[in-house]
Amino acid sequence: MSEKMNTKPAAEHDLRTPVDAGSERTSNWTPPWVNVQIDGMAARAFVGNDGAWSDVLLIEFDEDAPEGMPVPFRTKYFHFPEPGRLCWGHDGAEHDVRLSLDHSRSC
């Protein structure tokens, strides 16, 4: 489990890239990650176009992922019904998502 940090509930717009969604991605492109906690686990998240046709949610964990989250995590089937609550997939999986305010916006 991650140590306690200064956090606030995350919304989709907090994780969205400021980069033009139509811009071309090269093979060494790195998303502009946002530091978050998913169910209390330290991670980096990104919402935007990673070169696919649709916007996606990408998440990389510093250590283990919370139960039920695949590693690596990438999906276009997600929404935030309210700040701090992520729903994803076709089965309605839900997780707590909080912005880590103790870090800079991207890694």
User: Per-residue pLDDT tens for 8-61?
Assistant: 999 999 998 766 545 566 666 778 899 999 999 999 999 988 877 788 999 999
Alpha-carbon gap, residue 46 to 58, rounded angstroms = 5
Higher-confidence position of 80 and 104 = 80
Q: What is the pTM of this model?
A: 0.81
Residue appearing with tokens 């492109």: 29
What's residue 35's pLDDT? 95
